[in-house]
Structures are given as C-alpha cells and as structure tokens.
Amino acid sequence: MTTLLPAWTDDEGARRARDLLTRTFGPGEARVWSAPGRVNLIGEHTDYNAGLCLPVALPHRTVVAVRPRRDRTVRLVSAQEDGTRIVDLDDVRPGAVAGWPAYVVGVAWALVAEGLVPRERATGFDVAVDSCVPYGAGLSSSAALECAAAIALDELWGLGLAGDDAGRTRLAAVCVRAENEIAGAPTGGMDQSASLRSRRGHALLLDCRDGATRHVPFDLAAAGLELLVIDTRAPHALVDGQYAARRESCETAARELGVASLREVTDLPAALDALDDPLVRRRVRHVVTEIDRVERFVDLLDGGPPAGPRLGALGTLMAASHASLRDDYEVSAPELDLAVDTAVAAGAHGARMTGGGFGGSAIALLDAGHAGRVAAAVTDSFTAAGFAEPVFLLAPAGGPAARLG
C-alpha cells in the first residue's frame, strides 16, 4: 500500500531537534526554529532571469535547535548526516566549507558580509538539525536549512529582521548569497523567499526583478482539490554544472539581445531570430513563455477556487510548462516524465516537474481523496520501468519560517 510522507507537528519537530542537540553536545537550554521546504506551482528557471514564479511553502519543515557559545566556534550535527562537524567562523569563506554545514555557517558569514551584524557580535553556536523535508528531492531542503539558520541567528544575534517582510526580504538575500558563494550553488532567490515570506493558504507570486511579492489565494481544500508531490528519488543535484550551464546560456542570450535580463524580452519571435545558437534559442523560449504561463496561472487563481474551465486551463498550463522544461530547457528526466504522464492518465487535472530538475520531484493537481489511487498508479509504473520506488506527500500551502520555542 502506498503511503504519504507526513509532516511533523511543531511539538514533534522541536522535540527531535532538542533531543539531538542534548545527545550530541550535552544538556543546556536551547531555542528552536523551523523553516519550510517549498514546491513551485509554476515558473521554473525564471528566478535568475528576473522573472516571475509561484511557489508555496510545504507543511514539511527543517528544524534547528540552537545554543549560543562565547567563542567563534560552530558545532553542527544533523539527523540526516553522519557524525559532527566543527567550523571556526573565522575560517568561513568561499570554497572553504564542504557539505551541508556550508548552508548554516554560510548564513552567518553572509550576515557579516552584508553588514547586518558586526563581526564581534557574530559569536559561535551549537546547532542540531532535523528535517522532514525530503532530501535531494528538488523541494528546497537546502533553502529550508539556510532559512531556519537565518531566522535563528536573527534572534540569537538580536538583529530584529524577521519581524516584517522588509527584514525577511533581507534575510532571503543573505541566504541566497550564502548558497551562491559558500555552498557553491548558483541558484536564484525563489526558494529562500518562499521559505521566509510565504503565507498559509496562499501561493507566493514573486517578482524576481525587484523582489516584490503578492499572496495569491491557494486554498485547495475549499475547491475540493489537493496537490500531490511525487519525489521520484532520481538523483538531483544543483552543483554539478548543469544548473550553472543553463544560467550561463540565459545570461549570454541577454547580452546578445542587449537587455538586462530575459524578463525584458517582449517580442519573442524577434529575439529568437536574433540568436544564432539553436540551443540558446530554446533556453530563451522556455524562460519567456514560462513567465507568461505564471501570469496566466495567477489570473486563473485570482478568479476564485479552481473549478470547471478554469481548472482545465490550469492543467493545460502545467502540461505546457513541463513540455517546455523537458524539450527546450532539457532539465527533465525519464522518472519525471513517467510520473507526469502516469498522474495525468490516472486522473490528475494537471502535472509537471517542479524545482530545478535533473531529477527531483513532480506535482499533480488532483480531486481531493484521489492521492492514494494516483500514487499507486505512479508506483506501479515505476516498478514496471525498473525505477526506484517513489515517495509521496501532500502539499497544502504552509506558513513561513518561525520560532517554535
């Protein structure tokens, strides 16, 4: 029988992180924060092109228990990784910290580098991490870790940024810098904005040109719908050069077209005619049409709970997005294509890959109560294809990063 991966309650997440901290580093008072992963409804690879995207925060969260220290040492432990790590804050710089600790200490480094905290106030800390965000599934487990660390350090170091959206916007930028420069992943800002700035029951329309946001109603339960996330468990990584190559193609195209970003392209046929490289033309076509799909998707949601022709139109946009990511941007994978095709054949109103691609997850928009049947169909199709058994979760729109206790 196919089961859905549950999200932890706040109490369970806090208990797990505190217990891990105590077992690893000994007793003592600790505070706990958490931040959600995200799933993107539509708008893939548009963030670093100053475009539009439409993520929702997952109910599944990464939790950190943090205890301040009086020196410059950071001790780290994660329930998802073996062993402990020790990092001196004075040693944090690009290329110096390997693996998952870079997403934590990188945030500390970026807060200082951005001038948000003086170096002498940036003291060390002990941190224990636990998470129910699937790891390596394209659901922004790395951003959830960064944002949990950011909101913890914001309070630990007395910065006061998490109290309003302007401050959270600054924290999101800090997390992006940490991921780009310390962790070495050239991602845009969608994931961090979703984790820090989302609202429960809403999707977050993010304009990556200026950071502006709008909360778009996304109460699926009111519409008798649910969003199924399919973690294909196909290998997923954004630091192996493929993501960077897509970004470089877009930046090259923008330079050739004489625009600041592909967001500025208003005449797509003329832009494509001006580009000689057929691969670059395909990349541009995806980005420009995907931004348009986000706008149309939001217009449909603004019309009220999805139903009837509007629900069908949402599904059509999801299908077009997946086809564009598969054919023009070439970031899909056989597992993702099979998951999407099977979900639609099993009754989904629409389905598409989500996240950066090269593996990871797909989403399917379903009538409420049909998740088990669709998940079983996808599992059977994966078994027949010889793929790893997929993992499933439901994604009602959750809330942003916050302190748990």
* One-letter amino acid of 18: R
Residue 367: active-site member: no
Q: Is residue 168 a contact partner of residue 196, using CB atoms and an 8 Å limit?
A: yes
* One-letter amino acid of 12: E
By residue count, the chain amounts to: 405
List the catalytic residue out of 191, 207, 240, 276.
191
**What is the DSSP secondary-structure string of 278-329?**
HHHHHHHHHHHHHHHHHHHHHHHHHTSS--HHHHHHHHHHHHHHHHHHHHTS
- For the chain, what is the largest distance between any 2 Cα atoms, rounded to a whole number of angstroms? 66
What separation in angstroms does the CA of 129 have from each of 11, 35, 135, 242? 15, 11, 13, 28
Beta strands in 321-382 (DSSP E): 350-354, 360-367
Residues near 199 by Cβ (< 8 Å), separated by ≥ 6?
Answer: 215, 397, 399, 400
Tokens representing 401?
Answer: 């990063």
Cα R_g (the chain), whole angstroms: 21
Q: What are the residue ranges of helices labelled H in 73-140?
A: 102-113
Tokens representing 139?
Answer: 């659901």
What separation in angstroms does the CA of 99 have from each of 19, 105, 221, 361? 23, 11, 39, 22
Q: What sign does the dihedral 137-45-143-404 (CA atoms) show?
A: negative
User: Please, what is the angle between helix 334-345 and helix 371-385, to 10°?
Assistant: 140
Residues near 73 by Cβ (< 8 Å), separated by ≥ 6?
Answer: 86, 87, 88, 89, 124
**What is the DSSP secondary-structure string of 52-74?**
EEEEEEEEEEEEEEEEE-SSSEE
Q: Which residues are catalytic?
A: 191
